[in-house]
């Protein structure tokens, strides 16, 4: 038989645990709840042909991060404060890269960002030629005028080798 003392003690322990959880929740630093990732989606299309054997390679801060095969669409969560290079390639097609610079002004990480969708279209290499880009074809960076990430014009050089 359970005595009243045991019931009172059990209730006191439960109440104490509840208040401890409240104290912990209040004292947790605010930046733990801030958004430190950015939702990002890549849509890969080929001008002609199918997506089979196409690949997307991603580096994060200069180090290999992810490799994605034969997917027309992929969703990523990119860390703020990092730089990513996304390269789309397929044999017989012109390889393209984009840079995503996730550096933001201090304090901006406490607010949400719009989901960014990047569409990469690969064209076939012309017969008898090899076209390569010496730089990424696009750069996505934080735009203080927009208050969010935006596509930046990139001056790229296209090389044609015969």
Residue 28 lies in a domain: no
Query: Residues 121, 158: contact at Cβ < 8 Å?
Result: no
pTM: 0.71
pLDDT interval class at 21 (50, 70, 90): very low
Number of domains comprising the chain: 1
Question: CATH number for the domain including 135?
Answer: 2.60.40.2190
Range of 40's domain?
Answer: 35-161
| pLDDT value of position 31 | 39
Residue 84 lies in a domain: yes
Predicted confidence (pLDDT) at residue 22 exceeds the cutoff of 60:
no
Residue 111 lies in a domain: yes
CA distances (Å), origin 84, targets 14, 31, 44, 87, 98: 47, 23, 17, 10, 8
Residue 156 lies in a domain: yes
**Residues paired with 159 in a beta bridge:** 132
Residue 9 lies in a domain: no
Residue 148 lies in a domain: yes
Residue 2 lies in a domain: no
107: left (phi over 0), alpha (psi -120 to 50) or beta: left
Q: Which of 2-6, 69-73, 145-149 has the lowest mean pLDDT?
A: 2-6
Predicted confidence (pLDDT) at residue 39 exceeds the cutoff of 60:
yes
Contact partners, residue 71, CB within 8 Å, separation at least 6: 44, 51, 56
Sheet strand arrangement including 73-79: 73-79, 37-46, 116-122
């Amino acid at each position: 038989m359970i005595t009243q003392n045991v019931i009172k003690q059990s209730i006191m322990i439960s109440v104490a645990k509840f208040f401890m959880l409240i104290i912990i929740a209040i004292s947790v630093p605010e930046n733990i709840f801030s958004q430190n990732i950015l939702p990002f989606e890549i849509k890969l299309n080929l001008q002609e042909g199918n997506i089979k054997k196409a690949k997307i390679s991603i580096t994060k801060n200069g180090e290999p991060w992810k490799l994605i095969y034969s997917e027309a669409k992929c969703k990523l969560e990119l860390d703020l404060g990092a730089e990513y290079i996304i390269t789309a390639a397929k044999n017989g097609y012109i390889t393209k890269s984009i840079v995503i610079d996730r550096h933001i002004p201090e304090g901006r990480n406490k607010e949400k960002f719009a989901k960014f969708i990047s569409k990469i279209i690969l064209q076939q290499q012309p017969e008898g030629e090899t076209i390569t880009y010496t730089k990424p074809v696009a750069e996505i960076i934080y735009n203080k005028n927009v208050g969010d990430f935006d596509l930046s014009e990139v001056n790229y050089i296209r090389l044609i080798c015969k």
